Structure 1
């Protein structure tokens, strides 16, 4: 299948086959692909938590409005934003740019000032919204990667965020869970797998000027 066929193949999987597991090699490809997602200023102000503990995952079902995919999928990926994106965080990124591109840090002073000015110029509420948006950039990329690898997925916003963050102890890591995405392989009993995919025609969503 080419990429368009694979995007049509994917759907928000409602029932996973709990007996089918993603190999470590395949999981690595998903996570490595996720690592290359676009992000504002390149800061990658998010992390992904791979939740494998079956007891923890079972406890999350009730906090996810009974969505059993959380427990039955091969793996549960939780995309979390970094809580403190400040000057030290920006400085760490500038260090990474310097070492990766072999550019003396003093030559990056203008870029560094721009990044820090952008971060410092946002009110807390605006910054939280901006950080959440970074998660969705990464999530979109993850869904495409899963489709390319023929791994099923189901992005989820429907969960008690405060309770899930407490269970996953994200605050201690300086993180906040924003979106969950179970990944694995569809069950043959999932009736949604055979339904026609519903999308508006191209001419309705494309505007040429």
Structure 2
């Protein structure tokens, strides 16, 4: 039996989620440690945190990086107090510098701002998915993260065409199942509109 299981939900780069029903069924069947990465969890509006009180073998990873604080390089984990105690034994002293700690504490004083930002990104994400459905030869995939995966007829060509026009996305087709797929991060309404219009122009040019 596996002693350690890792899951990312939402997943990167697909943006898809494992259900909490799946997680709970897994926790009931294994005695191994289950590490549940919720780096993009705020954009999914669903969390496994309530399951902590019932399952001592569940450890949840979180980060501030996806909320505009990537430069601080800080995250945290949530789990059973006994499990956290064991992990602390291997923790190096002074692993968070004073500036990072001060910045995070200040950030946490205004969580309403964070919630507003998350809601804005979710709304823009859904608009982008619907807009991508209208772009010729583009197949977008539903996402629960702050990015969208989409398939193109020629991923490398579309990537280069976008880059030449000042629009940068990420190519992810190194995985066989993601051949010709690209990943775009949800930006501001204006940035998203520029991306959609630019992509539409490229695809219409390729199709002609």
TM-score scaled by length of structure 2 = 0.24
Report which of the two has the higher share of strand. 2
Higher relative contact order (CA 8 A, sep 6+): 1
